[in-house]
Structure 1
């Protein structure tokens, strides 16, 4: 396999991952709190010479970049809906007891009186424990900017935890818009704010993402064409050498 094939193959492999992420972004364009994800690429010098003028470089996927820009805040009128402002996360109790992180604030109260996501995952407070809402309070609660939940008489029920993640790119997705810390460090924070009765929309821009998807597809097709052209040239050279012999 020639150098052209190796370079084109490395590019096609990286672009395949790009297509997957772009398609995933498109599929979550209407998912509350979703943050767009994009691949990080780097050029790799196959000779390890350290020469920045190296004529041939391969393409390697370095990881994923999570776009933490704020999505549009949409009022819902539901007192249990919350939206996070700032680059912070709500905390949820994941299967196994671990704390998961996400920004989908469409909440409800389950049969046990716990404040949970639409998928049934308990929302945790600033100490990482699930929040229980007394039956008599129901949805007649007030949620302050710092996450403190009070009943109609002003009594404190609990406080929704906000968490800061030092490197969101290292979060490990587990579905339903939630992530485990993975290689990132997550800790409770006093920064950020919570808006009651609002939902944060996805920050994916469908039109931009669609154009990006088409550009990636074209680049992938070019990479494959380069490999096919190289293979054809090699085949022709072998055939001509065979005729000479």
Structure 2
């Protein structure tokens, strides 16, 4: 395989990843709290010549960039719906006892009185403990900007935790809008606020993402075409040499 094929193959491989991420963004355009993900691509010269005019650059997939741009806040009137403003994350307890992170604030109360997501994951406080709402309180709660939950008499029930993730790009997706942070990569924070009665919409812009997806598809087709043309030239050269011999 020639150099042209290797360069084109590195580009096509990176573009496959880009197509997957763009399609995933499109699929989550209506998912509350979803943040757009984009690939981080880099041109790499294995020979390290330092000369941009003669270097052969390959495409390297360095990971994923998470766009933390604030999504629009949609009023719902539901006292258990919350939206986080800023770059902080909500914390949730997983079935395995770990703390996962996300921005989906569509909450409800389960049969055990715990404040949970629509998928059943308990919301946690700053210490990582699930928050329980007394049965007699029900949904008659007030949630302050700092996440403090009080009942109709002003009594404090608990406080929803907010967390900062050091490297959102390194988070592992669990599904249902939940992510695991890298080891030691998340800690409680006082930054950010919580808006009661709202949900944060996805920050995906469907039209922009669709155009991006089309551009990626065209670039992928060009890379594949270039490989095919290189292979055809090699085949023709071998055939001609064979006839001469």
- Which bracket does the TM-score occupy, shorter chain normalised? over 0.9
Distance in 1, Cα, partners of 2:184 & 2:67 = 16
Give the alignment's TM-score, normalised by structure 1.
Answer: 0.98
Structure 1 position 52, deviation (Å): 4.4
SS in 2 for 1:219: helix
Say which is worse superposed, 165-174 or 197-206, in terms of deviation. Answer: 165-174
Report what 2:66 is aligned to: 66
Distance in 2, Cα, partners of 1:121 & 1:53 = 54
Structure 1 contact 167–184 (Cα < 8 Å) conserved: no
Alignment of 1:1-245 (within 5 A): 1-183=1-183, 185-245=185-245
* Cα distance change on mapping 1:184 and 1:34 into 2, 3 Å: farther
Structure 1 position 49, deviation (Å): 3.5
- Runs of 5+ in structure 1 lacking a partner? none
- Runs of 5+ in structure 2 lacking a partner? none
Structure 1 contact 170–184 (Cα < 8 Å) conserved: no
Distance in 2, Cα, partners of 1:183 & 1:241 = 58
Distance in 1, Cα, partners of 2:54 & 2:197 = 56
Distance in 2, Cα, partners of 1:240 & 1:97 = 67
RMSD, matched Cα? 1.0
* Cα distance change on mapping 1:55 and 1:48 into 2, 3 Å: closer
Structure 2 contact 49–55 (Cα < 8 Å) conserved: no
SS in 2 for 1:96: coil
Per-residue deviation, residues 93-139 of structure 1 (Å, max 9, x unmatched): 01211110000000000000000000000000111100000001000
SS in 1 for 2:38: strand
How many residue pairs align between the two structures? 245
Give the 4+ runs in structure 1 shifted more than 6 A: none
Give the alignment's TM-score, normalised by structure 2.
Answer: 0.98
Structure 1 position 182, deviation (Å): 2.0
